[in-house]
């Protein structure tokens, strides 16, 4: 492994790409510490201390931005507007024939789609920063209460410029660096939370507020879940594809057999993001109306909280420990979270992978699935297989997303520790590292250097 790492710096082109990527990452991390003008840092710190952590909308944005949102810097919104714009464009490609036609134009069409995504990202950032500035004014998080218009305009310009710069940095990594730029920026932002989480956990153990056993359990789960994520990420159902004989020029090309890979987790982490955002709105809206004290509205707000008092454990008045504490996690929030995540797994898979188009493309190029007639029987079979394997992917996503909630709600393990093992963060970090290592591996093997993995032929020689 160490030899393979040193080989990276023996290839001038690869060395240049890696160093350029590291330079862009440093620039991004520097921008995460440049605050928006006129922010009251003490009031902002008090606001975040009242947040319970977890999977709320603010916490999701803060995780993706590498704590830039927590500090209200120029990179506060991070790449979330870009992700939102990408999802909207993908949805529109299904229902709007104009975009669907552009998407099928190859590289030129993809450039147009990317351009539309950038424009959409800027518009979404301006809208979100406008709403965020109003929210900060309402929560008294600014020192410029007397000049509200100046604060709103300054916040919009700062955050919109910051998000646009992040998009540009991500594209530069993809163009001149190694790996997917936007994905790397997201992963680095998530990993930026780890040092503070470890420091908080160490302080809690030292002060006796956290049992060391939970640290061992979480570290063991971290290793185990990382392996599971790798297996699921690489897991795919390979459907055999038979190509018919065809004439190319004056030559008769014999038929060949390839595979159509259907990924187990086709939707990625998008379902978790959607579910978290939707479930955060009831509590956010109720908090804006100033729910406090008692009454129906306060009860309704409590029901939609992640650590709600209305759960099966309190419903039956239990005082047992051990496995019975798991009933604390069975509440309206976690049930809706699981249901919405499964729904979006199927929904997003359906809009990003069209079995009918795949069957038509196979028929167009003279390919077919053995035992299935071209056309509708082929598309029905692909849809049948995709529906079944999505069950595994949905179960995997729900399990990873709910695990930190269960540990926090049922066993009171702090978020600073559970953040390491679940939710969106760990999946993204592992996936990005896998994709980046594959690109590095291809560069090494192309130049006859040892890669990170060793393969041997039947004669025992490396290739």
- Going by their DSSP bridges, the two strands 246-248 and 236-243 should be labelled as unpaired
CATH number assigned to the domain comprising residue 137: 1.10.3370.10
Residue 226, in any domain of the structure: yes
The per-residue pLDDT for range 393-449, each reduced to its tens digit, is 899 889 888 888 888 888 888 887 887 776 678 888 888 888 888 888 887 777 665
Structure confidence at residue 457 (pLDDT): 42
What phi and psi, each to the nearest 5 degrees, are found at residue 457?
Answer: -80, 180
Q: How far apart are the first and last CA of the chain?
A: 17
Domain membership of residue 46 as a residue range: 1-193
Q: Are residues 289 and 183 both part of a single domain?
A: no
Domain boundary among 193, 221, 256: 193
CB 65 within 8 A of CB 101: no
Q: Are residues 176 and 234 both part of a single domain?
A: no
How far lies 80's CA from each of 167, 217, 248, 251, in Å? Answer: 11, 32, 47, 52
Please determine, for residue 177, whether its predicted confidence score (pLDDT) is greater than 50. yes
Please determine, for residue 53, whether its predicted confidence score (pLDDT) is greater than 70. no
Q: Are residues 213 and 283 both part of a single domain?
A: yes
Task: Give the separation between CA 229 and CA 154, rounded to whole angstroms.
Answer: 42
Residue 331, in any domain of the structure: yes
Q: What percent of the chain has pLDDT over 70?
A: 87
Closest of 137, 96, 143, 136 to residue 116, by C-alpha: 96
Q: Are residues 384 and 295 both part of a single domain?
A: yes
Query: Which range (25-39, 165-179, 288-302, 346-360) has the least confidence?
Result: 288-302
Query: Which range (19-23, 100-104, 390-394) has the least confidence?
Result: 100-104
Q: Are residues 307 and 343 both part of a single domain?
A: yes
Q: Are residues 262 and 360 both part of a single domain?
A: yes
Most confident of 45-49, 210-214, 434-438, 450-454: 210-214
Residue, of 322 and 329, whose pLDDT is higher: 329
| pLDDT band at 451; cut points 50, 70, 90 | low
The per-residue pLDDT for range 197-217, each reduced to its tens digit, is 888 888 989 888 888 999 999
Structure confidence at residue 461 (pLDDT): 41
Please determine, for residue 274, whether its predicted confidence score (pLDDT) is greater than 70. yes
Please determine, for residue 460, whether its predicted confidence score (pLDDT) is greater than 60. no
Query: Which range (95-99, 198-202, 276-280, 367-371) has the least confidence?
Result: 276-280
The count of other CB atoms within 10 Å of the CB of residue 331 is 26
Q: Are residues 238 and 92 both part of a single domain?
A: no
CB 78 within 8 A of CB 71: no
Structure confidence at residue 270 (pLDDT): 80
User: What is the chain's mean pLDDT, rounded?
Assistant: 82
Q: Are residues 102 and 231 both part of a single domain?
A: no
Beta bridge partners of 258: 241
The per-residue pLDDT for range 21-34, each reduced to its tens digit, is 999 999 999 988 88
Please determine, for residue 370, whether its predicted confidence score (pLDDT) is greater than 60. yes
Judged on CB neighbours under 10 Å (0-12, 13-18, 19+), 234 is exposed
Residue 440, in any domain of the structure: no
Mean pLDDT within 369-385: 89
Structure confidence at residue 56 (pLDDT): 57
Structure confidence at residue 339 (pLDDT): 93
Q: What percent of the chain has pLDDT over 90?
A: 13
Mean pLDDT within 271-300: 68
Q: Are residues 164 and 273 both part of a single domain?
A: no
Query: Which range (45-59, 374-388, 394-408) has the least confidence?
Result: 45-59
Count of CA atoms in the C-beta half-sphere (13 A) of 379: 13
Q: Are residues 121 and 215 both part of a single domain?
A: no
CB 154 within 8 A of CB 36: yes
Residue 198, in any domain of the structure: no
Most confident of 42-46, 159-163, 280-284: 159-163
Structure confidence at residue 23 (pLDDT): 93
> How many domains are there within the chain?
2
Please determine, for residue 463, whether its predicted confidence score (pLDDT) is greater than 50. no
Structure confidence at residue 310 (pLDDT): 84
Structure confidence at residue 449 (pLDDT): 59
Residue 444, in any domain of the structure: no
Structure confidence at residue 50 (pLDDT): 66
Structure confidence at residue 166 (pLDDT): 92
CB 437 within 8 A of CB 452: yes
**Which DSSP symbol is given to 248?**
E
Task: Give the separation between CA 453 and CA 351, rounded to whole angstroms.
Answer: 35
Please determine, for residue 153, whether its predicted confidence score (pLDDT) is greater than 90. yes
Q: Are residues 257 and 150 both part of a single domain?
A: no
Most confident of 8-17, 58-67, 153-162: 153-162
Q: Are residues 389 and 356 both part of a single domain?
A: yes
């Amino acid at each position: 492994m160490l030899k393979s790492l040193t080989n990276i710096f023996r290839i001038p082109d690869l060395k240049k790409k890696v160093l350029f990527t590291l330079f862009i990452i440093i620039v991004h991390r520097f921008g995460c510490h440049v605050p928006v003008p006129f922010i009251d840092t003490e009031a902002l710190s008090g606001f975040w201390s009242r947040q319970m952590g977890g999977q709320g909308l603010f916490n999701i944005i803060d995780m993706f931005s590498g704590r830039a949102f927590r500090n209200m810097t120029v990179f506060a919104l991070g790449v979330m507007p870009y992700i939102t714009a990408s999802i909207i464009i993908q949805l529109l490609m299904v229902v709007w024939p104009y975009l669907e036609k552009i998407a099928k134009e190859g590289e030129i069409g993809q450039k147009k789609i990317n351009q539309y995504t950038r424009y959409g990202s800027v518009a979404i950032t301006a809208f979100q920063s406008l709403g965020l500035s109003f929210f900060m004014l309402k929560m008294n998080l600014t020192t410029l209460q007397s000049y509200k218009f100046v604060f709103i305009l300054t916040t919009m310009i700062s955050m919109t410029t910051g998000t646009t710069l992040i998009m540009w940095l991500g594209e530069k990594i993809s163009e001149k660096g190694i790996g997917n730029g936007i994905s790397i920026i997201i992963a680095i932002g998530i990993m930026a939370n780890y040092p503070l989480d470890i420091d908080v956990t160490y302080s809690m153990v030292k002060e006796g507020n956290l049992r060391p056993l939970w640290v061992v359990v979480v570290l063991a789960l971290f290793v185990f879940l990382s392996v599971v994520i790798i297996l699921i990420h690489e897991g795919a159902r390979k459907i055999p594809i038979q190509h018919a004989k065809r004439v190319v020029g004056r030559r008769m090309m014999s038929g060949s057999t390839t595979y159509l890979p259907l990924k187990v987790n086709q939707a990625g982490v998008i379902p978790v993001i959607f579910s978290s955002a939707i479930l955060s709105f009831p509590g956010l809206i109720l908090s804006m109306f100033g729910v406090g004290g008692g009454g129906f509205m306060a009860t309704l707000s409590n029901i939609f909280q992640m650590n709600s008092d209305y759960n099966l454990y309190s419903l039956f008045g239990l005082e047992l420990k051990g496995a019975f504490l798991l009933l604390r996690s069975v509440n309206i929030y976690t049930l809706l979270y699981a249901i919405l995540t499964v729904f979006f797994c199927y929904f997003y898979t359906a809009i990003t992978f069209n079995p009918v188009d795949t069957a038509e493309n196979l028929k167009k190029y003279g390919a077919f699935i053995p035992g299935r007639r071209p056309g509708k029987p082929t598309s029905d079979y692909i849809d049948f297989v995709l529906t079944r394997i999505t069950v595994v992917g949905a179960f995997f996503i729900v399990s990873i997303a709910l695990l930190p909630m269960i540990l926090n709600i049922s066993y009171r393990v702090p978020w600073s520790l559970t953040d390491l093992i679940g939710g969106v963060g760990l999946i993204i970090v592992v996936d990005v590292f896998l994709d980046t290592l594959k690109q590095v591996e291809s560069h090494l093997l192309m130049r006859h250097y040892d890669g990170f993995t060793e393969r041997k032929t039947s004669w025992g020689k490396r290739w």
